[in-house]
Amino acid sequence: MIITALEALGLVAALTAFVLVRGSRRLPGMLRTAALGLLAMLALGHLANVLETLGQTWADTLADQLSILTPLLWGLFLLENGRGYLSARLRASDEQLRFFLDAVPTSVAWLDADTQLLGFSQAWAQALPKSRTGAALGAVLPTQLPELERAVRQCLTGEAQRVQSQPEETTQSQDGSERHFCWSICRWSHPDRPAPGALLLLQEVTAAHEAEAKRQAAADELGRNQRLAHVGQIAAGAAHDFNNFLQVIEAAVFELDADARQTEIMRNVRSALDSARELTRSMLRVGAEPAKLSEAVDLVALVREMTRPLGYALGRRHRLEVTFPKLAQLPVKGRAARLQQALLNLAINARDATPNGGAIEIILSAEGGEAVVCVRDFGVGMSASDRQRLFQPFFTTKGANGSGLGLNVVQAVVTEHGGKIEVDSAAGQGATFTLRFPLLSRSTASASQPAARLQ
């Protein structure tokens, strides 16, 4: 009777535990199922033993079978309990790592052996919003980084323990702009993971590059301005002395005017002297208030007067071709000497751009209330990058033979006269400089066709 009572108490205890576990929500699913199965098996075993003591012989066979299954279920229960413990430990380890990495301002992620994301810091999530646990690294990177991907493979295969960018990796985005990244990756082993992974630190430094480029551009601009100020001081002194020499030359020219055989030559010399004198006055006015443009200048007459002096400046290997409009005049408001200075600079640039000689064209026309002057050559041309820097002071493609100030002077003259300047050029295809100035009288600004050509 005592054995029967003990077995009955075991049956009641097993059923009570079964009911309590079944109503509990604190155990994980698989662990709860295993515990319920084990308790049910224990209850059946106690029931079979009670029935056996009461004389039911068939219950003995059932009790033997249950005694065999109970250790098996107990082993499964222990295995599931151990698995749950290891999973909890792994989650706690990952949470601890995440806590520390979230405090790091740099984007950090840890990868498994298949280069999939196991986790990442908040900074990583903000920088790469497509990131999610289990995603492949290549799918979340903002652009292709072949050096980084190669370094990840080296760390995962054990070829290297740590690799970092030297000093950074530069790549192009889809819109063609450059992007710059610094990264460092090291091999990373977790005690609860079978295969080693990698810990990756990634930071985009494109904004820092752009800021440095702007700073460098500002420094270059400041340097150019300082050089221009220095040149202006030197030019003012040189202009003063040069003006004195011009007075000596003009006195000598006055003595030669009596020779009628040199009338045409002397007229050109006097014109050049007038232009040189105006140039020196302009240099001496550096820093002063700009003079008002009250003089009416006829571009047709101005270019006619400059035809022969320009021919002298271009030399024998180059041929000057001038195309005049049908309009008798192209009057603009300005200063003749400054306009001559701009045309002379453009013509000499065209000469230097055609070292093998050839034609240099000057074309005058009127378009939509504007006087248009085109200077065209068929020489070496220029690249797109050169065109962007064309009017910067001291920028030249002529090496030691150029000062880099001629086109800057042309731009200054055009700006003074309220005009616009356009450049059309490509490498090996020559260049066309188009100057546009407001016509004084709109009534004479109707479109015209080219007329006679002087050579």
pLDDT given for residue 455 in this prediction: 40
Distance CA 38, CA 60 (A): 20
The token pair at 129 is 């919003």
Which residue matches tokens 């229960």? 77
Cα gap 219→212, rounded to integer Å: 10
57 bridge partner residues: none
In 129-252 the beta strands, taken as DSSP E runs, fall at: 162-164, 169-172, 178-188, 197-204
**Nearest Cα to 369, choosing from 439, 422, 420?**
439
Q: With CA atoms as reference, report the closest residue to 63 among 112, 103, 22, 11.
A: 11
pLDDT in tens, the chain (455 residues): 676 677 677 767 777 877 776 777 666 666 677 677 667 767 767 677 666 666 666 666 666 666 666 676 667 666 766 777 777 777 777 777 667 767 777 888 888 888 888 888 888 888 888 889 889 998 888 888 889 989 988 888 888 888 888 888 888 877 778 888 999 999 877 666 677 888 888 988 888 888 888 888 888 888 777 776 666 655 655 565 565 556 556 655 665 665 656 666 676 677 667 766 666 666 555 444 455 566 889 999 999 988 887 887 788 889 999 999 878 889 999 988 889 888 988 998 899 889 888 999 999 999 888 999 999 999 989 888 888 888 877 777 776 666 667 788 888 889 989 999 999 988 888 999 999 999 986 544 333 344 434 44
CA distance 203 to 169: 11
From residue 274, alpha-carbon distances to 44, 230, 265, 338 in Å are 126, 26, 14, 11
What predicted TM-score, i.e. pTM, was given to this entire model?
A: 0.44
pLDDT at position 377: 93
Backbone angles phi, psi at 105, to 5 degrees: -70, -20
Distance between CA 42 and CA 36 in Å, rounded?
10
> Do 276 and 268 contact (CB within 8 A), yes or no?
no
